[in-house]
Every structure is written in structure tokens, then in C-alpha cells.
Amino acid sequence: MTNNELQNLLEIATVAALAAGAVLQSFCGKLSEIEEKGRSGDLVTEADKASEAVILEILGRHVPDHAILAEESGKLGNASSKYLWAIDPLDGTTNYAHQYPFACVSIGLLIEGIPQIGVIFDPFHNELFAAAKGLGATRNRRAIEVSQISELTKSLLVTGFAYDRRETADNNYAEFCHLTHLTQGVRRSGSAALDLAHVACGRLDGYWERGLSPWDIAAGVLIVSEAGGQVTAYDGSAFEINSGRVLATNGKIHADLGDALLKTPPLSSWG
């Protein structure tokens, strides 16, 4: 695919993300429907659905022959297409439902399973993060790059907890405690997409999480990579978007963070 073709697809994703962000702004503080999707804490609102509808309409006009994987609507479009749009119309729904302004729209395009386009729009801080494979990453159309922190002890990290954290011992609590002791701090924002965007622009030095879906991270992992960062599995092996796990850093602390994750003592050992 040529750079011009990638740029055109990036613009389509940008238009969709900005339009969806306007929808989120219009619904904020005015929700009348907040539901759980089968798991405690896994919320959906009319804002999620309206935002997704806008994105689907724009993609339907511009790329009707592409496949889509959307958080609320599932699989749509041409299942045999090599193009797959992974859409989260509102990443950070719990934050949004509580009027905590840390949520975003995330739109990623995978071509033959590889992230090639990523757009994340934070409508509450008016920040647009975007990237296309080989073309770099931007925030509000200005180039960004990851931080230069090279020591884990001087790093600021971010993570999250999956919806099944109450039912499984593999819940990230031990890792959160362990890394809090080894670094200058670990944040928990409630939006995987924004966590990745903030690693990409150097506000945070590393991010890890489990229990993720492709729409959570398809855009963000590309933006981190194009900003000069590194994205892998926890053990440093190749990142698999369907694995549900990701380790993303500025690259300089990547090996140390991965090693710390693998050596985290079980929560039962904490006094």
C-alpha cells in the first residue's frame, strides 16, 4: 500500500473519530441509559451506541467493502476482506458514566492482521492522536515521540484491570503492587487507548495490561510504535492482538519492565 493510500485511510479514520467525539461531548452528563453487558462493571450507554453508529456510517460511505469489528455491534461487513477496522466508540465508559473526563474514541485499521492506521480522539481535552504505518505519529497533527527515561526506577507507568478481576487470580493486582514499589508510580486511568496514546507522546514511560480486546488497542499500539516505542507480549515475544495482553513502552525500559512482570511474586506473598 502506498503512503498516499495510507494517508487517505488515516483521514477517513480521523473524520470518523472527530465526529464520534462530538457525539460523546453532546451526551456527557445527560445519560438516561446505563446498562451492564453481562459482567459487573462492563457498561454500555446510549453514548457508546450513538458514537458507534456515526463511525459505522462514515466507514460505510468511504470503505463499504471493508470488514469491521466494533465493540457494540460485533463483526460487520465483508468477512473476507484483508482490511479490518477495530472500533471502540467509547473507551472508558465507566469514567464517562461518572462524568470523569477520561475517555476517548479509538479507531484502528488492521491490514492482513497488522495494525496500519490508528486514531484516538480525546474529546474532553481536544487531543487527537494519529498514526499510519511508516509515517510517524502525531498529536493534534504535530509529531510526537516516546520519553527518554531509561531506568525503571525513574519511570512512571500505567495499567488497568480486566472486568473479570473479581473471578480470576490472574487479575493484575500483584503486578500493580510490585511495579508501584519498583518505579516512581503506577497510574490506573480506565482507558487502554488513552494509556497507549500517553506512552506515545512521552507522558508515561510504559504500559501493560491483560484482558483486552482488539478494539481497545488496535489504534494505540500502532501510535506507540510510530512514536518510536516498543510493543510486545509480556515476555518480549511478538505482540499478538488477539492475545488480550500487551506490553508497550518507550523501548528503553522495555526489557526491565518485562522482566519485572515475569518475576512478580504472587499476591499471597505480600505482607
Among 143, 174, 205, give the residue marking a domain's end. Answer: 143
Domain count, the chain: 2
Q: Which residues are annotated as a binding site for Mg(2+)?
A: 71, 88, 90-91, 216
Alpha helices for 232-271 (secondary structure H)? 254-262
For residue 248, the domain's CATH number is 3.40.190.80
Residue 170 domain boundaries: 152-269
Write out the three cell numbers for 190: 480506565
What local confidence, expressed as pLDDT, does residue 76 receive? 97
Query: What is the C-alpha to C-alpha distance for residues 83 and 64, in angstroms, rounded to an integer?
Result: 11
**Based on the domain organization, do 74 and 8 belong to the same domain?**
yes
Query: What is the C-alpha to C-alpha distance for residues 93 and 114, in angstroms, rounded to an integer?
Result: 26
Looking only at the bridges linking them, the beta strands covering 156-159 and 206-209 are parallel
**Based on the domain organization, do 21 and 123 belong to the same domain?**
yes
**Based on the domain organization, do 186 and 227 belong to the same domain?**
yes
Query: What is the C-alpha to C-alpha distance for residues 38 and 27, in angstroms, rounded to an integer?
Result: 23
What local confidence, expressed as pLDDT, does residue 204 receive? 98
**Based on the domain organization, do 132 and 202 belong to the same domain?**
no
- Kindly give the parts of the chain with pLDDT less than 70: 37-41, 163-169, 270-271
**Based on the domain organization, do 199 and 235 belong to the same domain?**
yes
Contact present, 155 and 206 (Cβ < 8 Å): yes
Cell 455491534, located at residue: 73
Contact present, 16 and 107 (Cβ < 8 Å): yes
The reported pTM is 0.95
What local confidence, expressed as pLDDT, does residue 113 receive? 96
**Based on the domain organization, do 205 and 225 belong to the same domain?**
yes
Q: Which residues are annotated as a binding site?
A: 71, 88, 90-91, 216
**Based on the domain organization, do 161 and 262 belong to the same domain?**
yes
**Based on the domain organization, do 61 and 168 belong to the same domain?**
no
Which residues does residue 101 pair with via DSSP β-bridges, in sequence order? none
**Based on the domain organization, do 163 and 257 belong to the same domain?**
yes
What local confidence, expressed as pLDDT, does residue 168 receive? 65
Q: Which of 178, 162, 180 is nearest to 170 (CA)?
A: 162
H helix or E strand, kind and range, residue 127: strand 127-132
